[in-house]
Amino acid sequence: MAHRHTDEFRRDAVRIALTSGLTRKQVASDLGVGFSTLAKWIQKSKPDGLPPSADIDLAKEVERLRKANRLLTEERDILKKATVFFANQSK
């Protein structure tokens, strides 16, 4: 017997698949739905072949935040190494 998902669940699944940066297989697995089911939901949500503008804006924001996060992580790692270096120099 097939499990019926609500329209809200489907919309949320599509939004996550389009904006999370995860692979669609990973999103499908995390949500407990089949990959082909998720692909069908995504296809139905984009009748013109393009994601809605809100999803495009979210995807851009996610990408901007990922870049900022990578930069901050690199800076933190450099500062950690510098702290160790200078701590050893003062001994």
Give the model confidence (pLDDT) of 22-62 as tens digits. Answer: 889 999 999 999 999 999 998 888 766 556 667 778 888 89
Q: Where are the domains of the chain?
A: 7-89
> Is pLDDT larger for residue 86 or for residue 58?
86
Examine the pLDDT at 90 and tell me if it is beyond 50. Answer: yes
Q: What is the value of pTM for the model shown?
A: 0.51
Q: How confident is the model at residue 4 (pLDDT cuts 50, 70, 90)?
A: confident
Structure confidence at residue 1 (pLDDT): 44
Contact 65, 72 (CB under 8 A): no
Q: Which of 77, 32, 79, 58 is nearest to 13 (CA)?
A: 32
Structure confidence at residue 47 (pLDDT): 63
Q: Which of 48, 38, 46 is nearest to 16 (CA)?
A: 38
Examine the pLDDT at 76 and tell me if it is beyond 70. Answer: yes
Q: 14: Cβ–Cβ under 8 A, 6 or more apart, which residues?
A: 38, 41, 42, 45
**Mean pLDDT of the region 6-32:** 90
Architecture of the CATH domain 7-89: Orthogonal Bundle (1.10)
Contact 16, 29 (CB under 8 A): no
Separation in Å, CA 46 to CA 15, 43, 60, 74: 11, 5, 18, 37
